[in-house]
Amino acid sequence: MDEKKYAKLEQSITPKPPILKNVIKAFLVGGTICLIAQFIALFYMTFFNFTERTASNPTVATMIFISMLLTGFGLYKKIGQLGGAGASVPITGFGNAVVSAAIEHKSEGYVLGVGGNIFKLAGSVILYGVFSAFLVALVKTILVKLGVVSW
């Protein structure tokens, strides 16, 4: 059997993924996570007198904490299986990535296992965030020194 016949046979046998169904599930799961975050932000604004701007940081921290708890109890995996990218795109995916790495390497010990691998996946996100913040601050400083903008 040559490659063309094999490729044609493979295409005929391989089941077609339910793309529309997966997109709708991802949208609903991701939207639900964002809706929960909005309720948490409204909670902070109502009961702690935060403004919309100042409520964002505690809301993000709360969402990360909730996702870490759900990952520790094994529930976030089920949410991720249901929603796919809808569960991994919001900030909760970051908390899930950190705790999943810690749980996976717990058997190797707390220092070398958990400590050495906890930021394996999330480390690149942290590095990119710190580096991009540095670049933005550098550009802002240069523009202010040149008198192009004033802050």
Q: What is the number of other CB atoms lying within 10 angstroms of the CB of residue 5? A: 9
pLDDT tens per residue across all 151 residues of the chain: 789 889 888 888 998 889 999 999 999 999 999 999 999 999 999 999 999 999 999 999 999 999 999 999 999 999 999 998 888 877 888 888 888 888 888 888 888 788 877 777 777 777 888 899 999 999 999 999 998 887 7
Tokens of 20: 């529309």
Q: Is 50 left (phi over 0), alpha (psi -120 to 50) or beta?
A: beta
CA pair distance 97, 113, nearest whole angstrom = 15
Q: What is the number of other CB atoms lying within 10 angstroms of the CB of residue 74? A: 9
**Would the pTM count as exceeding 0.85?**
no
pLDDT at residue number 96: 86
Q: What is the number of other CB atoms lying within 10 angstroms of the CB of residue 100? A: 20
Q: Which amino acid is at 128?
A: Y
pLDDT at residue number 106: 84
